[in-house]
A and B are shown apart, each in its own frame.
Chain A
Amino acid sequence: MFRHLRHIGDLIRKKRLVDPARPFTDARFVVMDTELTGLDEKRDSIVSIGAVRMTGGVIDLGDTFYQLVNPDTALSASSVVIHEITPSEVAAKPPIDAVLAEYLAYASDDILIGHFVSLDLAFLNREMRRIFKHELRNPVIDTLSIHEWLSRRLPPRACFTAPPLGYRLYDIVKGFDIPVNVAHNAIADAYTTAQLFQRLLPLLAEAGIITLGDLLRIGTPFKGNDGLAVSGEFSNF
């Protein structure tokens, strides 16, 4: 494991530099999702990490990441119902340390994308700090922020008129007619998020957003508000 760490030393410490003037049509993205035992950053932990790679708007089904984690925290009954992951299934899985190292290698220098990604980042960075003494240094963008920005910027249309609590991935993708798998699962949700990002790309072009710099600015992870962080509102757990 420590030998593995030396290999990823760069991945841990290196600050990813992005040319803000470059168009993002051929940029490499890692669209990710984590499943959690709960929403309490102090008490809960990561159950699984799923991710798919995109180049521009193209998803590569041959280059995905999905790993269950042996959690520090016992899975709560409610999250089992949502993820259909039972304690005995994850007990045999590698610890977060190994999975995170693997994930860092997978993510490489790519731009990370998630939906309401600050929640995933909070848990990932907690583990990063604990294990590697650093936080994730990849640029990160949030499909929720992009969707919010576009809905304010572009003329009204079906995909922006989400239901009242329109923050959840599943509510937003309904507006885009993106097919959704029944089971919540880190890789399925990462795929759903990737498809959402695909739909947002032509809208971004329509709004005149072409460069990575603009995308990163618009896509800055959405901080949300505590009122939304109610059990059941997010798919991460």
Chain B
Amino acid sequence: MGSERNLIIDDTVAFLKKVPPFLSLDDINLQSVARHLFVEFHPKGTIILKQNDAPGDSLRIIKKGSVKVSVISPEDGSEVVIDYRGEGDSFDFLSLMSRDSLRANITTMEDTICYVLGINPLLQLLSTHNSFTEYFLKSHITKYVDRVVREMQDKSTFHSGSDRLLFTTRIGDIANKKVISVPEDTTIQAAARIMANKRISSVIIMDQDNRPQGIVTDRDLREKVVAKDPRVKDSVKSIMNFPLIIVDAQDYCFEIILKMIKHNIHHILVSKDGELAGVITNHDFIMLQGTSPLSLTKDIENQQTIDGLIPVSKKINGIVGTLLKEGARASNIIKIITEINDHLVRKVLLLAEKKLGRPPSPYCWLVLGSEGRREQTFKTDQDNALVYADPATESEAEAQNEYFSAFSEIVRDGLIQCGFPPCPANAMASNPRWRQPVRRWKKYFADWIDNPTQDAVINAVTFFDFRPMYGDFHLAESLRDHLNALLKDKKVFLGHLANMAIRNPPPIGFLKSFVVEKDGEHKDQLNIKIKGLAPLVDIVRLFALEKGVRETSTIGRIEAMRNLHTMVTENADALEHAFEIIMLLRIHHQFEQIISGQEADNFIYPNRLSNLEKRSLKEAFHLVTMMQNLIIERYKALIW
């Protein structure tokens, strides 16, 4: 009320003119924004917004003062400050848009004045000013993804929030629903029947040239048919929504959510290369939370067929990308990936059991190599074996052979379908050699240790990293007991492992520069697996087998030997750090290859590393060299 020039509004406009994204608005719009604002004052130490509370209904812009954004760690209840916001910054755009409960506490660091902008005027701005949408998408959101979340890395391994996936997942990746369409002369009733039969919430209306014209959703049936006079014999065209809103499969989910909010719709068509590729509903975004590691495992649990597992397994690489973007530690990434792969493999085993019925005797599915060490990154070859209870009779042995042969083939094929290629060396349970009763396995182990030929040693390093995955774990534990007993004082065999651990000296020359491949396809590249990871894994395995440590992961072995193995005790932190950096560089390298459509390999370009990465890698390599020298000293007589 009142028609005079309003100094408060002038004052507010002057402030907004300095604050992105408002500064891009003209005076008329700024006046209008100012008239939608409320002013709040929060003394120092006030919690303005609380983690897990219901989503807010407004954006707050700090006029004066500052706030901290913090998260209470679900593990130990400690507070992790993930961001500070000062004058001109705003919060909490994210929960406002996603309508998710609040992700963080916002606490004032000093006396703070906030302008409060309600969701409706904000949406109005977002829909009429591209600069607004861009600002919040790019600056605000990348800030959120890149900076804020980074701080969480140390605190949480498995609790990967879902909201950031909205910014890293492309809509095409989740819009995999088949599009159901009907011709435009279909009656409302017929369309409704199709929707009911197919259990879908929307149907696309096609014109005579089979081009999508409009969409009819559950809501239209409610609002335009049931709520008004029923005209079920009318053409479905009379109730369809048009023009259709079609988005590109490459768009990020977040942009689509904005579109849904803007247009107040719940269904959007997704096109890929000009073709309809799917329908996305707001429900799918809830399901998107299924791409967070934790709920991906839930998703795996819910599948009842191998076919159902295939799309789920495809999401695993995406998770690595998410985790990398979050700045997760390599050891956490491989832990999470292993966890998910374990779920997948167990599910395949369960489905195979379902198909074949009860096994004739107890068995245990073993995973070997990197899978056994819980150090998988991207989909790796299958490395597995099967141990089953010793048969009492010839006929029992036959029944076992028949069952486990069929069983392991189903599992092998199922895993291939889920993206795990077969082992080129045929180290799989489907190979009868690696599908044996306990007593036969014990004999294998004894033979390898007593007669360490080259093949035996190669088998030993793969198989001795075994880990029980599914079935009767006692069988695996008894194998481990047996192995540890066998290894006691087997200096010669351990000497072979020692030779293996030192055969690849780290590629650091006296000039402190990297020794790289001199020529050929991989000129100027460094094979980080052979020159970095393998020696470290081999060294730690050697120590673990010396001490009869049951743990199989490299980090786990280092931890277990902190107070057990003098060479580890003195270098445990350095060893873990070396493993982290080598593994991280490898994951980064492979992930970049995968997203650019290449085959993942282990050849990195040292000259493309940052100085920090180079220095860390050199330190890691120096440590490996030092350990190798200690091993040479220790096994002097057995080194050739």
Q: Is B64 an interface residue (CB 8 A)?
A: yes
In the complex, per-residue mask of B1-34: 1 if CB is within 8 Å of any chain A CB, else 0: 1111011110110000000000000000000001
Q: Select one of B4, B34, B39, B116 contacting A195, CB under 8 A.
A: B39
- Contact residues, A117-156 vs B (CB, 8 A): none
In the complex, per-residue mask of A164-180: 1 if CB is within 8 Å of any chain B CB, else 0: 00000000000001010
What are the residues of chain B within 8 A of A202 when measuring CB–CB?
Answer: 43
Q: Is B146 an interface residue (CB 8 A)?
A: no
Q: Is B40 an interface residue (CB 8 A)?
A: yes
Q: Select one of B8, B35, B38, B111 contacting A191, CB under 8 A.
A: B8
Q: Select one of A66, A187, A198 contacting B41, CB under 8 A.
A: A198
In the complex, per-residue mask of A25-68: 1 if CB is within 8 Å of any chain B CB, else 0: 00000000000000000000000101010000111111011111
B8's closest neighbor in chain A, by CB? A191
Q: Is A181 an interface residue (CB 8 A)?
A: yes
A199 to B40, CA, bound (A): 10
What are the residues of chain A within 8 A of B41 when measuring CB–CB?
Answer: 57, 195, 198-199, 201
Are B1 and A65 neighbours in the complex by a CB distance under 8 Å?
Answer: yes
A183 to B37, CA, bound (A): 22
- Contact residues, A68-102 vs B (CB, 8 A): 68, 102
| A35, chain B: closest CB distance, angstroms | 11
What are the residues of chain A within 8 A of B39 when measuring CB–CB?
Answer: 58-59, 61, 194-195, 198
Q: Is B482 an interface residue (CB 8 A)?
A: no
Are B7 and A61 neighbours in the complex by a CB distance under 8 Å?
Answer: no
Q: Select one of B3, B36, B111 contacting A62, CB under 8 A.
A: B36
Are A67 and B38 neighbours in the complex by a CB distance under 8 Å?
Answer: no
A-B contact pairs, 21 of them (CB 8 A): A50-B2, A58-B40, A60-B38, A61-B8, A61-B35, A61-B37, A64-B9, A65-B1, A65-B2, A67-B1, A67-B2, A68-B4, A102-B2, A179-B64, A181-B11, A183-B7, A194-B39, A195-B39, A195-B41, A199-B41, A201-B41
A50 to B111, CA, bound (A): 26
What are the residues of chain A within 8 A of B7 when measuring CB–CB?
Answer: 181, 183, 185, 187-188, 191
A181 to B15, CA, bound (A): 13
Are B1 and A57 neighbours in the complex by a CB distance under 8 Å?
Answer: no
Given contacts A67-B2, A187-B8, 9 further A-B contacts (CB under 8 A): A58-B116, A59-B38, A61-B35, A64-B2, A102-B1, A187-B4, A188-B7, A198-B40, A201-B41
9 interchain residue pairs of minimum CB distance: A198-B41, A59-B39, A66-B2, A188-B7, A67-B2, A62-B35, A202-B43, A61-B37, A191-B8
B45's closest neighbor in chain A, by CB? A202
| A103, chain B: closest CB distance, angstroms | 8
B34's closest neighbor in chain A, by CB? A61
| A130, chain B: closest CB distance, angstroms | 22
Chain A CB within 10 Å, residue with most, of B37, B38, B40, B64: B38
Size range of the chain B interface in the assembly: 20 to 34
Chain A CB within 10 Å, residue with most, of B2, B3, B9, B35: B2
A66's closest neighbor in chain B, by CB? B2
| A177, chain B: closest CB distance, angstroms | 7
| B64, chain A: closest CB distance, angstroms | 7
| A194, chain B: closest CB distance, angstroms | 8
A200 to B397, CA, bound (A): 86
What are the residues of chain B within 8 A of A65 when measuring CB–CB?
Answer: 1-2
Residues of B bordering A, CB below 8 Å:
1-4, 6-9, 11-12, 34-41, 43, 64, 111, 113, 116
| B460, chain A: closest CB distance, angstroms | 70
Are B8 and A188 neighbours in the complex by a CB distance under 8 Å?
Answer: yes
What are the residues of chain B within 8 A of A48 when measuring CB–CB?
Answer: 4
A179's closest neighbor in chain B, by CB? B64
Number of interface residues of A (CB under 8 A): 31
What are the residues of chain B within 8 A of A201 when measuring CB–CB?
Answer: 41
What are the residues of chain A within 8 A of B38 when measuring CB–CB?
Answer: 58-62
**A interface, by DSSP: helix, strand, loop or mixed?**
mixed
A7 to B456, CA, bound (A): 102
Q: Select one of B4, B64, B111 contacting A66, CB under 8 A.
A: B4
A181 to B113, CA, bound (A): 16
Q: Is A106 an interface residue (CB 8 A)?
A: yes
What are the residues of chain A within 8 A of B6 when measuring CB–CB?
Answer: 64, 66, 187
Chain B CB within 10 Å, residue with most, of A59, A102, A106: A59
| B133, chain A: closest CB distance, angstroms | 24
Are B12 and A61 neighbours in the complex by a CB distance under 8 Å?
Answer: yes
| B43, chain A: closest CB distance, angstroms | 5
A185 to B11, CA, bound (A): 13
Evaluate whether A64 and B8 lie within 8 angstroms (CB atoms) in the complex, with A58-B38, A59-B38, A179-B64 already known: yes
A148 to B43, CA, bound (A): 20
What are the residues of chain B within 8 A of A61 when measuring CB–CB?
Answer: 8-9, 12, 34-39
A226 to B203, CA, bound (A): 80
A66 to B9, CA, bound (A): 12
A199 to B38, CA, bound (A): 15
A103's closest neighbor in chain B, by CB? B1
A93's closest neighbor in chain B, by CB? B4
A177's closest neighbor in chain B, by CB? B111
| A66, chain B: closest CB distance, angstroms | 4
A62 to B35, CA, bound (A): 4
Chain B CB within 10 Å, residue with most, of A48, A61, A64, A201: A61
What are the residues of chain B within 8 A of A183 when measuring CB–CB?
Answer: 7
What are the residues of chain A within 8 A of B4 when measuring CB–CB?
Answer: 48, 66-68, 187
B12's closest neighbor in chain A, by CB? A61
What are the residues of chain B within 8 A of A52 when measuring CB–CB?
Answer: 8
A57 to B12, CA, bound (A): 18
A200's closest neighbor in chain B, by CB? B41
A106 to B35, CA, bound (A): 16
| B6, chain A: closest CB distance, angstroms | 6
What are the residues of chain B within 8 A of A105 when measuring CB–CB?
Answer: 1
What are the residues of chain B within 8 A of A50 when measuring CB–CB?
Answer: 2
B116's closest neighbor in chain A, by CB? A58
| A155, chain B: closest CB distance, angstroms | 15
What are the residues of chain A within 8 A of B3 when measuring CB–CB?
Answer: 67
What are the residues of chain A within 8 A of B111 when measuring CB–CB?
Answer: 177, 199
B39's closest neighbor in chain A, by CB? A59
A57 to B7, CA, bound (A): 20
A190's closest neighbor in chain B, by CB? B8
Chain B CB within 10 Å, residue with most, of A66, A194, A198: A66
A55's closest neighbor in chain B, by CB? B38
A105's closest neighbor in chain B, by CB? B1
A62 to B118, CA, bound (A): 12
What are the residues of chain A within 8 A of B113 when measuring CB–CB?
Answer: 195
A185 to B4, CA, bound (A): 11
| A197, chain B: closest CB distance, angstroms | 9
A49's closest neighbor in chain B, by CB? B2
A61 to B8, CA, bound (A): 8
A48's closest neighbor in chain B, by CB? B4
Are A57 and B40 neighbours in the complex by a CB distance under 8 Å?
Answer: yes
What are the residues of chain B within 8 A of A67 when measuring CB–CB?
Answer: 1-4
Chain A CB within 10 Å, residue with most, of B1, B11, B34: B1
What are the residues of chain B within 8 A of A198 when measuring CB–CB?
Answer: 39-41
| B120, chain A: closest CB distance, angstroms | 12
What are the residues of chain B within 8 A of A64 when measuring CB–CB?
Answer: 1-2, 6, 8-9
A192's closest neighbor in chain B, by CB? B8
A187 to B8, CA, bound (A): 7
| A101, chain B: closest CB distance, angstroms | 11
| A157, chain B: closest CB distance, angstroms | 12
B44's closest neighbor in chain A, by CB? A202
| B276, chain A: closest CB distance, angstroms | 44
B9's closest neighbor in chain A, by CB? A61
A179 to B113, CA, bound (A): 11
What are the residues of chain B within 8 A of A188 when measuring CB–CB?
Answer: 7-8, 11
| A39, chain B: closest CB distance, angstroms | 23
B64's closest neighbor in chain A, by CB? A179
Evaluate whether A62 and B37 lie within 8 angstroms (CB atoms) in the complex, with A179-B64, A185-B7, A188-B8 already known: yes
